[in-house]
Structure 1
Amino acid sequence: MHLEELAPSAATLRAIATAIIILAAGGLASQWAYRLAATALAKTHLDAVEALAPALAGEHGRCMSVEERVAAERLVLAANEAFYEAFRAGDYQAMCRVWAERAPVACAHPGMEALSGRASVLESWSQLLRQTSPLRMRCQGASAHLFGDFAFVTCYEANGDEPAHLCATNVFVREDGQWKMVHHHAGPLSAPRPERWAPARSRLMN
């Protein structure tokens, strides 16, 4: 069997990432997250999942110390803030740099159909950032969740001085040593959220 026959499709990679992110959010150990994610996939992809195991465990396939995890989660939060800085500045080139170049990407803007693929996602941002009245989108209450080379941030979004009216999830992967966005999903809250200022944080920070 050729190696390319074992390589998972983009959909399978997304399934792996999603399963692991959900399990990690629940606080499960990495080996259990890996086993359950692998079990959920078709047998034909198990060899490919096995090949991905080091990446799922983190750099060099080892468990990270608490200090390393905190440092990594701070970098994830910095990447998340870079996304909102590009958004506020209406800077399309900066927005392009935020998104992964090789990993599969997707985006779901509020009230719009989900987009898949880097070209489609960035075209949507090109149109959004060209608006006459740019959105001064602020991120509130960002919280980072890390699992190996995958991470996600949950936060609230507010436009200018208005109270937050959207809840967002931003997903990142480590690409060439840097955290890059692979998914952004924002949806409306049932009611505006009063300002409750808190610094962006890692789950491990005091």
Structure 2
Amino acid sequence: MNQSRTEADEPSKTTAEEDVRAASDQFYSALEEMMNGDAGPMAEIWSHEGDVTATTELGGREEGWDAISGSMEGVAAACTDGTATRTDQLIRVTGDLAYELCTESLSATLAGEPITWEHRATNIYRKEDGKWKIVHQHADRNPELAEKVADMDA
């Protein structure tokens, strides 16, 4: 017997996209909290697997949850008065992987000095135990921010 499949028979892409959009909302809320001194919420949205990676505004690359979470703690310790918004959001979902493209607009007080910056970002999500978790984040390098952080370390 040949039955035709209907859209109701297929997993809903809209639902998956909505779920990834909710994970993105969680990420950007956690990012803002990190830029206000609390990196804790980032642990809820990031995968803790060893294959997670990040390329940052400072130009570096981090691999593994321990390295990434340590970097987040450093940002939280140095920042106050942070805001994080995104525009031009595009989400694509394929199976248990999804990616998001957007423009991030950020501002914070970094070591007592206000700074604002904007860049393109790509976030990659993987479904783990039924929840979407970030496994990679890429942000364009920001020379001004990198210089301020280098000056802090000097």
Residue matched to 1:149: 96
Q: Is the partner of 2:75 in helix, strand or coil?
A: helix
Equivalent in the alignment of 1:170: 123
Aligned length: 124
Structure 1 segments (4+ residues) deviating >3 Å: none
Is the partner of 2:60 in helix, strand or coil?
coil
> How far off is 1:98 after superposition?
0.8
- Are residue 114 (structure 1) and residue 61 (structure 2) matched? yes
Please say if residues 85 and 105 of structure 2, whose CA atoms lie closer than 8 Å, have aligned partners that are also in contact. yes
Q: Which of the pair is proportionally richer in strand?
A: 2
Q: How far apart are the structure 2 equivalents of 1:110 and 1:139?
A: 15
Distance 1:174 1:123 in 2: 23
Indicate conservation of the 8 Å contact 1:103/1:182, yes or no: no
How much does 1:135 deviate?
3.0
**2:25 matched to 1:72?**
no
Distance 1:128 1:166 in 2: 17
In structure 2, the CA distance between the partners of 1:163 and 1:71, relative to structure 1 (3 Å rule), is: farther
Distance 1:164 1:170 in 2: 18
- 5+ unaligned residues in a row in structure 1: which ranges? 1-63, 190-206
Question: C-alpha separation between the residues in 1 aligned to 2:100 and 2:132?
Answer: 12
Aligned residues of 2:55 and 2:139 also touching (Cα < 8 A): yes
2:45: which partner in 1? 98
Q: Which residue of 2 aligns with 1:187?
A: 140
User: What is the match of residue 33 of structure 1?
Assistant: none
Structure 2: tracts of 5 or more residues without a match: 1-8, 108-114, 143-154
Residue type at the aligned position of 2:87: Q
Q: Kindly, what percent of the aligned residue pairs are identical?
A: 25
How far apart, CA to CA, are the structure 2 residues paired with 1:68 and 1:168? 26
SS in 2 for 1:129: helix
Q: When you count helix as a share of all residues, which structure comes out higher? A: 1
CA RMSD of aligned residues (A): 2.2
Matches within 5 A, 1:20-35: none
TM-score normalised by length of structure 1: 0.55
